[in-house]
Structure 1
Amino acid sequence: MDATELVHAIQTLNAEDSFRPRLDAQQWRVFCQYLTRHELRSGDLLIKQGDHDRTVYFLGQGSLQVFVTGAAPGASRIAILRAGSVLGEPGLFADGPRMANVEAMTPCVVWALRLPRFEELAARVPQVAVEVVRAAGALMAQRMRANMLRQIPSA
């Protein structure tokens, strides 16, 4: 899988919490140069709850489950992510512990944007970096709203 397939997966994902940067084809090509490709086997842990990591991941192929440890029975699974999903976006904004575990449910291809590479992108092509931050912030806000709504008991 090359980065072109990743961009297609991101652009065609039909989910409320989709990552939607306003990038043209050339800007996507530039952005993808800052990503590194990784393959996961089913059962591999990509993110461990409590770890400190400033990496954002883009799921190119496969499916991932997001879950927390220490939750009430039946409340541990937060989400299942499909190709085109973005995860770990809070790492762009703050150095804090990861809030959940992320595990491969199937073989996956993920693309990583590590903080030093993002900082390099911001220095070299600030308009692309600003758009990535805007889209990641919008995604994070949408997920926060959805999580807050889930915690409100219905009458």
Structure 2
Amino acid sequence: MGIDELIEAVQSYRADDAFRARLDLGQWRQFAAYLTAYQLRAGDLLIKQNDCDRAAYFVGQGTLQVYVSGAAPGTSRIALMRPGALVGETGLFSDQPHSANVEAMTPSIVWALHLPRFEELTARAPLIANEVLRAAGAVMVARLRASLTLRIAVA
């Protein structure tokens, strides 16, 4: 999977919590240089509840499930994340532990934005970094509102 497919997936993702960065194609490609691709097998854990991970991940291919360990039966799954979704975005804002697990349900490709790379982007292309931060913050707000409505944890 190339970066153009990821860009297409992110731009076409239509969920309430979609990452809606206002970047043109050139800016997307510049931003993409700061991302690292990872392949996951079905069952691989991308994010472990209570671990600190200073990265955010874009789903390029596959399906990930977000769930909470130790929840009441039938209430552990929070969400399914499909291509174009952003997950683990709290890692860009805080070194607090994650409140949920994120596991690959199918073979998947995710693109990671690790905090040190984001800090590099901030120094080299502050307008792009600011837009990424704004869009990731908007994802968090949408998920916080949903969690308050449903009274569930935020990943």
Q: In which range does the TM-score fall when normalised by the shorter chain?
A: over 0.9
- Partners in 1 of 2:117 and 2:141 — Cα distance? 24
What residue is the counterpart of 2:138 in the other structure? 138
What residue is the counterpart of 1:7 in the other structure? 7
What residue is the counterpart of 2:81 in the other structure? 81
1:14 Cα deviation from its structure 2 partner: 1.6
Q: Match of 2:4, as an amino acid?
A: T
Q: Match of 2:67, as an amino acid?
A: F
Larger Rg: 1
1:151 Cα deviation from its structure 2 partner: 2.2
What residue is the counterpart of 1:116 in the other structure? 116
Query: Gapped runs of 5+ residues in structure 2?
Result: none
Q: Match of 2:65, as an amino acid?
A: Q
Q: What is the root-mean-square deviation of aligned Cα atoms in Å?
A: 0.9
- The SS at the match of 1:121 is helix
What residue is the counterpart of 1:18 in the other structure? 18
Name the TM-score, length of structure 2 as normaliser: 0.96
- Partners in 1 of 2:13 and 2:60 — Cα distance? 11
- Partners in 1 of 2:91 and 2:105 — Cα distance? 23
- The SS at the match of 2:28 is helix
- Partners in 2 of 1:69 and 1:122 — Cα distance? 35
Could you list the per-position Cα deviations for residues 97-152 of structure 1 after superposition, in whole angstroms to 9, with x for gaps in the alignment? 01100000000000000000000000000000000000000010000000110129
Q: Match of 1:2, as an amino acid?
A: G
Q: Does 1:90 align with 2:90?
A: yes
Name the TM-score, length of structure 1 as normaliser: 0.96
1:70 Cα deviation from its structure 2 partner: 1.1
Point out 4+ residue stretches in structure 1 off by more than 2 angstroms. none
- The SS at the match of 2:144 is helix
Query: Gapped runs of 5+ residues in structure 1?
Result: none
What is the aligned length? 152
Q: Match of 1:135, as an amino acid?
A: A
What residue is the counterpart of 1:31 in the other structure? 31
